[in-house]
């Protein structure tokens, strides 16, 4: 069955939310996460050894911890979107790399971390567009030097 214009629009806009998430995390633009999450959103990174809290608590934690790895890159793929009115369930695969420098280093350099898994979002349509009200990271694998 073909998608409606609204369904196509919702999927594209939700994809933009996922892109803003990775851009905010990877560039340290923490306030960009305000355009990803609702103010009361719960973000759960515990499967990767991180924190669980509401948006602003997690933003503070990210701003404290992630600068240790100035070379950061997340890739999002295999996105599944199920929209029901103004709510959506979104699951996306991810891989991430955290590097202790932005310079070229050996793949076996100390401090290099790679991982992957799934991001599970519960999103809601707001007057400002789609926002995640819950993110649960499901870490499937991680390698560390």
Q: How far apart are CA 30 and CA 65, in angstroms?
A: 12
C-alpha dist (Å) from residue 92 to 14, 35, 137? 11, 18, 10
Q: What is the pTM of this model?
A: 0.95
What value, to the nearest 5°, has the Cα angle with vertex 83 and ends 78 and 88?
80
pLDDT, tens digit, 9 for 90 and up, residues 45-73: 999 999 999 999 999 999 999 999 999 99
Q: Which helix (H) or strand (E) holds 126?
A: strand 113-126
pLDDT, tens digit, 9 for 90 and up, residues 7-30: 999 999 999 999 999 999 999 999
């Amino acid at each position: 069955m073909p998608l409606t214009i609204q369904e196509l629009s919702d999927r594209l806009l939700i994809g933009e939310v996922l892109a803003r998430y990775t851009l905010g995390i990877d560039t340290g633009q923490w306030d960009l996460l305000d355009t990803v999450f609702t103010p009361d959103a719960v973000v759960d990174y515990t499967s990767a050894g991180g924190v669980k809290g509401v948006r602003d608590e997690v933003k503070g934690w990210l701003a404290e911890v992630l600068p240790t790895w100035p070379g950061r890159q997340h890739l999002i793929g295999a996105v599944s979107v199920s929209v029901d009115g103004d709510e959506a369930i979104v699951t996306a695969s991810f891989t991430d790399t955290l590097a202790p420098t932005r310079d070229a280093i050996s793949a076996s350099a100390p401090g290099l971390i790679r991982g992957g898994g799934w991001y599970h979002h519960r999103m809601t349509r707001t007057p400002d567009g789609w926002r995640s009200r819950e993110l649960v990271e499901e870490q499937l694998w991680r390698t560390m030097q």
